[in-house]
Amino acid sequence: MPLPLRWILTVVAAGLCAAIIIRKGNPLPGSAFLVQKTSPAMRSETARYQEEMINLKQDLPFVHVASVIELKDGALAALWYGGPFEYCHDNKIYFSEKRNGAWLNPCPIMTAERAEHELGRRIRCLGNPLMCRNPDGSLRLLFVTIAVGKWSGSQLNTTVSKDGGLSWSPSERLTLSPLCNFSELVRNRPLPLTNGSFCVPVYQELVGKFPELLWLKEREGQLSVCKTRIAGGCATLQPSVIPLDEKRAVVLLRDWTQAKRIFVSRSADAGLTWTKPVATNLPNPDAGLSGLRLRDGRLLAAYNDSVSSRTDLSFALSEDEGLTWRKIAMVEEDPKESFSYPYLMQTSDGMIHVAYTWNADGIKMISFNDAWIREQESKIRKP
């Protein structure tokens, strides 16, 4: 039966209103990536490498989508979501800090019940969490909620903590899409901009697969948001943006096609426009990935080195800004296990960290320095 005309007009009007709201809050002008200057490798540095479980005593059947952030005092914090299973009303978003060399017991900072109360709508389950640290040290949490269906019916929300994660402001729903505001998900590392705002990789899964960027700007307590698209079609998603300098960047993209390769796209105007994505020589089994620019200017990728499974976690390096890659290490490999959704970041002390889902019920982190990377390279070069 055809939809009544009044319903069609209502949907169109709502879409136009949402589009106007998004345009009105455009924080893009004058922004540029905030990147560290390239520095030569410290050849005298000793290789450092550490593996640790972040949620060692949590004992949940399902945990997923970890991210890591450096707090204002230099401590590490991690967050993820978990519960009985993936699409579950009992899932919670957990937060933990590393203090005195050990991870504290995870504490829930968002539940479906709290989100329902603060957002004023039914929540089926919670999903992907991500955190930005503002210039004043406050923390902005971005998290996904699903009202109906699965990830294609998701919406993105935010809340702020001004006391290091102890308490949080009432949650707000972000209006980002003219299509009933459905299918908004966040995944990879947010990028600070020179004007104090953030560029956050997001994506849509409704109808097709669309990698996008969410631009956040906060001024006098008011948050402005704007969303731009990296690529269209039904091919790629879950972007990982790697700034090369203030204006140039590359983005690594998860593949949803039969190519089974990580795709790459480029920007020369601080993320406003992007080239058509092309396949790299790195395989991708339709799985999450993460990229990072090292202090010496080379690029590092964490990914599953397979076209069909997530039974390994590997690292690859690029010396030509993402044109070609070579694998330097495999840090996880077990045909009976799964290692997925790596999240790469580097702290102010130069240490590189990658957090990931370990066999669906663990959150694991590997930490290493530039000297460890050079050590892996030397092993490859040996006959």
Q: Which helix (H) or strand (E) element contains residue 372? A: helix 370-381
Domain edge (last residue) among 186, 206, 228: 186
Task: Based on the fold, state whether residues 253 and 152 are members of the same structural domain.
Answer: no
Task: Based on the fold, state whether residues 269 and 134 are members of the same structural domain.
Answer: no
Task: Based on the fold, state whether residues 169 and 253 are members of the same structural domain.
Answer: no
Least confident of 36-45, 163-172, 202-211: 36-45
In whole angstroms, what is the distance from residue 225 CA to residue 237 CA? 20
Give the DSSP letter of residue 209: B
pLDDT digits (tens, 9 = 90+) for 229-280: 999 888 999 999 999 999 999 999 999 999 999 999 999 999 999 999 999 9
- Identify whether 27 is part of a domain: no
Average model confidence (pLDDT) for the chain?
90
Contact 238, 255 (CB under 8 A): no
Burial group, residue 300, by CB count within 10 angstroms (0-12, 13-18, 19+): buried
pLDDT for the residue 31: 80
pLDDT digits (tens, 9 = 90+) for 320-334: 999 999 999 999 999
| 3-state DSSP assignment of residue 149 | coil
Give the DSSP letter of residue 259: T
* pTM greater than 0.85: yes
Structure tokens at 110: 């968002």
| 3-state DSSP assignment of residue 263 | strand
Q: Which residues pair with 198 in a beta bridge?
A: 192, 216
Scanning 75-160, the segments in alpha helix (DSSP H) are 112-119
pLDDT for the residue 41: 64
Q: For residue 234, give Cα distances in angstroms to 48, 207, 212, 229, 369.
A: 41, 8, 13, 13, 37
- Identify whether 22 is part of a domain: no
- Residue from 167, 67, 77 nearest 114 by CA: 167
Task: Based on the fold, state whether residues 255 and 324 are members of the same structural domain.
Answer: yes
- Identify whether 258 is part of a domain: yes
- Residue from 83, 90, 85 nearest 59 by CA: 83
Burial group, residue 350, by CB count within 10 angstroms (0-12, 13-18, 19+): middle
Task: Based on the fold, state whether residues 182 and 246 are members of the same structural domain.
Answer: no
Q: For residue 358, give Cα distances in angstroms to 96, 135, 312, 336.
A: 17, 32, 10, 12
- Identify whether 40 is part of a domain: no
Please compute, for residue 323, the number of CA atoms within 13 A of its CA located in the half-sphere on the CB side: 3
Q: What is the dihedral of CA 120, 63, 107, 151, to 10 degrees?
A: -20
Give the DSSP letter of residue 373: H
Task: Based on the fold, state whether residues 267 and 178 are members of the same structural domain.
Answer: no
- Identify whether 35 is part of a domain: no
Task: Based on the fold, state whether residues 154 and 273 are members of the same structural domain.
Answer: no
pLDDT for the residue 2: 47
Give me the phi and psi of 273, to 5 degrees please: -130, 155
- Identify whether 205 is part of a domain: no
Task: Based on the fold, state whether residues 79 and 174 are members of the same structural domain.
Answer: yes
CATH code for position 166? 2.120.10.10
Domain edge (last residue) among 167, 186, 205: 186
Task: Based on the fold, state whether residues 251 and 169 are members of the same structural domain.
Answer: no
Other CB atoms within 10 A of residue 87 CB: 15
In whole angstroms, what is the distance from residue 111 CA to residue 123 CA? 10
pLDDT band at 6 (very low <50, low <70, confident <90, very high): very low
Give me the phi and psi of 228, to 5 degrees please: -125, 160
In whole angstroms, what is the distance from residue 240 CA to residue 291 CA? 6
Please compute the mean of the pLDDT values over residues 135-162 and round it to a whole number.
Answer: 94
Task: Based on the fold, state whether residues 179 and 267 are members of the same structural domain.
Answer: no
- Identify whether 39 is part of a domain: no
pLDDT for the residue 43: 67
- Identify whether 130 is part of a domain: yes
Task: Based on the fold, state whether residues 176 and 285 are members of the same structural domain.
Answer: no
Write the single-letter amino acid at 86.
E
pLDDT for the residue 106: 97
pLDDT for the residue 382: 60
Please compute the mean of the pLDDT values over residues 186-199 and round it to a whole number.
Answer: 95
Task: Based on the fold, state whether residues 165 and 296 are members of the same structural domain.
Answer: no
Other CB atoms within 10 A of residue 242 CB: 27
pLDDT for the residue 206: 80
Range of the domain at 116: 58-186
Structure tokens at 37: 């200057």
pLDDT for the residue 178: 67
Query: Structurally, how many domains does the chain consist of?
Result: 2
pLDDT digits (tens, 9 = 90+) for 336-372: 999 999 999 999 999 999 999 999 999 999 999 999 9
Please compute, for residue 340, the number of CA atoms within 13 A of its CA located in the half-sphere on the CB side: 19
